[in-house]
Amino acid sequence: MSANMSPIDKAKFVAAKRACDYVQDGMKLGLGTGSTAAWLVRCLGEMVRDNGLKIKGVPTSSRTAELARQVGIEVISLDEAKWLDLTIDGADEYDHDLNLIKGGGGALLQEKIVATASDQMIVITDGSKRVESLGNFPLPVEVIPFGWQTSKALIEEVLVGMDVLGTTASLRMNADAPYVTDEGNHILDLHLNRIGNARQLSLVLNQIPGVVENGLFIDICDIVVTGYGDGRVEVQDINNGEHDETRYDFLDDDNLFADLGD
């Protein structure tokens, strides 16, 4: 691996590389969305090309599907797969119980559907995403376009009674227009600063008319693989309580990931 990579890219790469150890021939995999998940897709593509790995991937976004096809991974729909052996994805935040905030890349709805249709979910991330309490990263909430301002007002009203430090929501934009998800919806980002009871908040948000889904992933993640810029990788398995650490050495040579940025 090139020594010219930035520390953050090294952290993402080693996390993705370590997560590949969980992938077995013949698996049906959920493929996440975001910069860290993109490293995973490239690593899996290398295994398909060089090692003859046979897998089928269910992408969580159109851009992940495009990348998977580019690197030679067979892409199928979740309806075709019916059920998945494993989903590997990134996260915007995770706490000590492996609860997550996801959706910074706008794919939270498909990500949650795919993750919950899997025997196991692994999150790959860097050390900056570990937090004592969720909420510093804005919580994405996907809403239908019709009446989104009403949905926003209802959400902000509900937040007043929740155990959070902030109660404002903002419409996510793409240049001068509202951001549109793969499902044709909008995203409201909730600026909460701290979430005291993530489980309660998730349940309450999903009861609001117009809300499709929120970015809190509670009791879904089984393993977090955390990479660091010096090549260290920590693995935390919530089911068996195991915590181990490995290290990758980087060589000064060319690699197929050199063109992959954030």
**Residue ranges at the known binding site:** 33-36, 89-92, 102-105, 129
Binding residues for substrate: 33-36, 89-92, 102-105, 129
The whole-angstrom separation of Cα 75 and Cα 90 is: 19
Q: Give the pair of three-digit tokens for residue 91.
A: 């996260």
Note whether 256 and 155 are within 8 A (CB).
no
Q: What angle do CA 185, 121, 171 make, to 5 degrees?
A: 25
Sheet holding 216-217, edge to edge: 93-94, 100-101, 216-217
Closest CA to 47 of 16, 82, 78: 16
The whole-angstrom separation of Cα 189 and Cα 106 is: 10
Q: Which of 46, 93, 111, 142 is catalytic?
A: 111
For this structure, is 111 an active site residue? yes
Catalytic residue list = 111
